[in-house]
Amino acid sequence: MKIAIVTDSIASISKEDSEKYEIQVVPLNLLFEGKIYRDGIDLTVEQAYEVLEKNPDHFSTSAPSPGDFLQAYRKAAASAEKIICLTVAKGISATYDSARMAQGLFKTEFPKKELEVINTQTATVGQALLILTTARMINEGKDFNEIIKIIQNLREKTQTYLLLETIRYIYRTGRIPEIASKIGGIMPFKPILKIADDKMHFGGMANSKEKGVKKIINILKENINSSHPEIGITHNSAPEEAEALKEKIQSLFPKSNIFITLCSPIIGYGTGPGLLGIAFYSK
C-alpha cells in the first residue's frame, strides 16, 4: 500500500526531490510590506532572499494554518493509503501544532487512512535528511510502522550545525538582544549554532570562516554513525562554499551519500547570508 510524505518548506527539499518522491510541501508564510507570500510558491527561495535584503526590517514569517496541512493531506491521500508528515522542530515553529490540528480533521474525513505526524526535533538540512531517508525506505518497500520507528530513533541521532557569517541577524529570532547582535556584528568571530532536542543552541565559534568549516568537519568526523553515512549540506547565498565543503567531506567519507540544499529564507531570516550548514546521524 502506497505511503506518501508531507513536510513543510523549512526542510528546503529541492524541487527535483519533491517531484521524484512525490512529497507534498506545505509552505510557511513570508510577510513583506503588508503582503503575504507562500515560501517556494509565490516566491522562490532566491527571490525571497532578494526581498529580505531590500528591507529586512519589514520582513517577518508565520507558520502554515491547519487548513494548509489538511489540503496537503488530501492531495497525498488521493494516491496513498498511509501518510507520514515530518515537520520542523516544535520548539522552533508553530508548524507542528498546525500539522497535528489538521491530523484530527483528516481522520474525521478519511477514517480508513493512516496519518502519522512526526516532530523531527530539528530543522532545515537536518529535517531534509530525515525526509530523504524516509523516502528511500518507502522505495525499498519497508512497512509503515517500521519506517516510523526507524525515523523516531534516527531523529534522536540527527545533528545539525549552522555556521554563520555574522551574529548580527540572529536577534530577529528573539534569542539574543539586538544590542548584543550589533556588538557581535563588528567582531570577527563566526558563531556556530546547533539544532537538537527541539531547540537551537549556541554550538561554538571560530575566528574565521575557514576555521569554522574545520570545526564542523571535525565534529562530523568525531560523531558520524558509519552505518548511516548520509550527509546533508545547506547554504544561504554561498553555493561555491557549499560545493567546496561537499568535496572535503566526500574525500573523508568516499562512501557517503551527500546532498546540498539552499536554506529556507524562514531560517535565513535569522541567520543572514553566507550561512553554511551540515546534518548527519551521530553514533
Q: Where are the alpha helices (DSSP H) in 110-177?
A: 124-139, 144-155
Its pTM stands at 0.91
Confidence of residue 73 (pLDDT cuts 50, 70, 90): very high
In this predicted structure, what is the pLDDT of residue 132? 97
* Whole-number pLDDT of residue 181: 47
Which sequence spans correspond to the domains of the chain? 3-28+63-154, 158-281
pLDDT at 56: 67
Reported as a single tens digit per residue, the pLDDT across 176-219 is 544 344 445 555 688 899 998 898 888 888 989 999 999 999 99
CATH number, domain 158-281, options 3.40.50.720, 3.90.700.10, 2.60.40.10, 3.30.1180.10? 3.30.1180.10
- Tens of pLDDT, residue by residue over 207-254, are 899 999 999 999 999 999 988 889 999 999 899 999 999 999 999 999
pLDDT of residue 118: 98
CA proximity to 29, closest of 59, 7, 50: 59
Residue 215 in grid coordinates: 570545526
Topology classification of domain 3-28+63-154: Rossmann fold (3.40.50)
Q: At residue 113, what is the residue type?
A: K
The model's pLDDT over 86-127, given as tens digits with 9 standing for 90+, comes to: 999 999 999 999 999 999 999 999 999 999 999 999 999 999
Alpha-carbon distance of 2 to 281, in angstroms, equals: 27
